[in-house]
């Protein structure tokens, strides 16, 4: 157990639907990052939050949005889902916004759009 909790582990939904992925960072970590990993692909950065505020954005689609709540958990909302959105979505946390710390990843949510 890495200390980063992601739910659900698996999600199967139809095209056009909307889903919410949830992440609880490791205790004490203020930064949360979301990554997308398609089949046999690398890790694509989506978005970063630090203590409730958005701090960096990657190539995140307009259909996707995220937020970090006062208790520091984060949610990634994916809407108008397309087949190509099927992927593993990882959440990671780190101890500080700036610093020489590695990221701690959760186990991921596997999203299948049918």
Partner 1 sequence: GQQVMQIPQYQHVQEGEDFTTYCNSSTTLSNIQWYKQRPGGHPVFLIQLVKSGEVKKQKRLTFQFGEAKKNSSLHITATQTTDVGTYFCAVKAAGNKLTFGGGTRVLVKP
Asked if 48 and 30 touch (Cβ cutoff 8 Å), the reply is: no
Query: Which distant-in-sequence residues (6+ apart) come within 8 Å of 114 by Cβ?
Result: 12, 13, 14, 15, 83
The reply to whether omega before 86 is within 30° of 0 (cis) is: no
| Residue 34 near residue 93 (C-beta atoms within 8 A) | no
Of 38-97, binders to partner 1 (CB under 8 A) are 41-43, 45, 48, 55-58, 90, 92, 97
Can you state the percent helix, strand and coil of the chain, rounding each to 5? 5, 50, 45
Q: Which of 68, 103, 111, 113 binds partner 1 (CB under 8 A)?
A: 103
| 98 counts as binding partner 1 under rule CB under 8 A | yes
Binding flag, residue 104, partner 1 (CB under 8 A)? yes
Q: Which of 72, 106, 111, 113 binds partner 1 (CB under 8 A)?
A: 106
Q: Which of residues 13-32 bind partner 1 (CB under 8 A)?
A: 31
Question: Does 3 interact with partner 1 (rule: CB under 8 A)?
Answer: no
Residues that bind partner 1 (CB under 8 A): 2, 31, 33, 35, 41-43, 45, 48, 55-58, 90, 92, 97-98, 100-108
């Amino acid at each position: 157990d890495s200390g980063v909790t992601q739910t659900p582990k698996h999600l199967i939904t139809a095209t056009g639907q909307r889903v919410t992925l949830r992440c609880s960072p490791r205790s004490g970590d203020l930064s949360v990052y979301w990554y997308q990993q398609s089949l046999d692909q690398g890790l694509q950065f989506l978005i970063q939050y630090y203590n409730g505020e958005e701090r960096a954005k990657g190539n995140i689609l307009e259909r996707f949005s995220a937020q970090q709540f006062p208790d520091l958990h984060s949610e990634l909302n994916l809407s108008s889902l397309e087949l190509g959105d099927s992927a593993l979505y990882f959440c990671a946390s780190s101890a500080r916004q700036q610093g020489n710390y590695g990221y701690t990843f959760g186990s991921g949510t596997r999203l299948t759009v049918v």
